[in-house]
Structure 1
Amino acid sequence: MALSTTYFLSVPHCITTWKGIQLSKLYIYFFSGGYQFQGIVDCEYDDTIDNMIYFVKNIFNQKLTTIYDSRVQKYVGFEEFGIRNADRYNSQAWKMAIRKAEVETICRYSARFFKLSTLERIVRLTKPSRYGEPSMLECSVLGFYPQEVRVSWLRDGLETTTAVTSTDTLANGDWSYQLHSYLEFRPRRGESVSCMVEHPSLDEPLEVVWGERPGEERECCCGLEGGEDSWNGNVGERGTERGRNILLIVVFS
């Protein structure tokens, strides 16, 4: 009996693991009769992107059937159905040539893109504030998952809710979210104003103090925002590897 495809979903995402950075893309096919096929493409690499490992995983009804591993340059099958398919894939020279080339065309290409557009983003200080003038700070939390997040404003270390407004948590369409919070205030000389984010991916709250210049050890990871005209603050220090999917921006206007 022929199976007809009824739904298709493609979900690319970037995560950071204890081994380095992992780029993944998930394909899900739903068939009539309750059958499901999933294809997962994984690229795992370190900061140099030289040691690239490429996986192609085929999953049928939640069971892994075959996996291509670039380290051995062949498919490995599981159970009778998967072993038979792996043998067939490995005998197809054209398929093996494509998988070998995809280490460069998919993995290294994507890794270079994410490295240049996110990991090496530079934040800059824009116009200075004037004490006593009405001002507004914007704290943007971008590219986080799961959805639960808490953003608060601190003045001299004490949380303030006066003149604070925030957007709802907004879905980006790729399973990640963003949120923007605003503080209206009049800067006072010597006052410390900061934005603090609490999120399950962080072992401790991430805090950005307005007006501090970013040091070399501070950087933004796995996000893409900011620029020369939108920054007057600092990226929060990355306290843990699990916090890398948080990009925190403070904008002064």
Structure 2
Amino acid sequence: MSVLRTCVLIGFFFLACHFGSEGFVLQFNSYCIFDTMEDMEYQLMFVFNKQPLLQYNPRLEKFVALASYGFGIVKYLNNDTAYLQEMKQRVNTTCRKTMSEYWKKTVPRKAQPSVGIDRIVPQTTSFTTALKCHVVGFYPPEVSITWQKNGEMVNQSVYITPVIPNGDWTYQITASLEFTPSMGDKYICLVNHVSLDAPIAIQWKPGINNYETYYSTAATIVFVVGLLVLFLGIIFWKSAYSGFMYIPIYGNTDE
């Protein structure tokens, strides 16, 4: 007996029981549950008007009723030994056969993370500086992030966000460290992931960050260009002024 024949059987059953009603929807959902390729389970569930009706239980190797009006159908299905044997083999013919094609493309997939550090100024704490270690683009989602100060692990004032999916089978996470910087201190964000041959260590030293560097460089360039324009303007003005000379007219100009 196929799943289609089972659906037809259940459909006729509810047509007989609910004849004259506005209508009904009968659905069946089949799915595979597993952690590895060896411990797979195949399950099949029938749903009537969004209410679970009956289900195939692979551990019991038979159908079980999930609603009172499903007992009659379950009794009929469990008497069909050939159909029960077919359902038992679905774990191989459907689950393992299908998942073997996608297993290597999904489960063992690895993506290495990208790591960067930004400095911010906390608004509500007594600390003068906070560092954010951004870890993005990694898969699987399990990742380890630690902060080190001068070679020693820092446990206090460290805040790690939950892992967030990016929507492209990669994840991101942020680890913040609040502190008061002092000269000579070295801070390292250490990231360990299964895709890495060795942990990624990004070091930060007290000083201006990249944004401040770019801003200072741009301001310096604008200042220098302004001075050059000013000097050129003064030279041009001096040249124009020195070229103008008063030429006196000889003789008496009085009438």
TM-score normalised by the shorter chain: which range applies?
0.3 to 0.5
- Bigger helix fraction: 2
Q: Which has the larger radius of gyration?
A: 2
- Bigger strand fraction: 1
Normalised to the residue count of structure 2, the TM-score between the two structures is 0.38
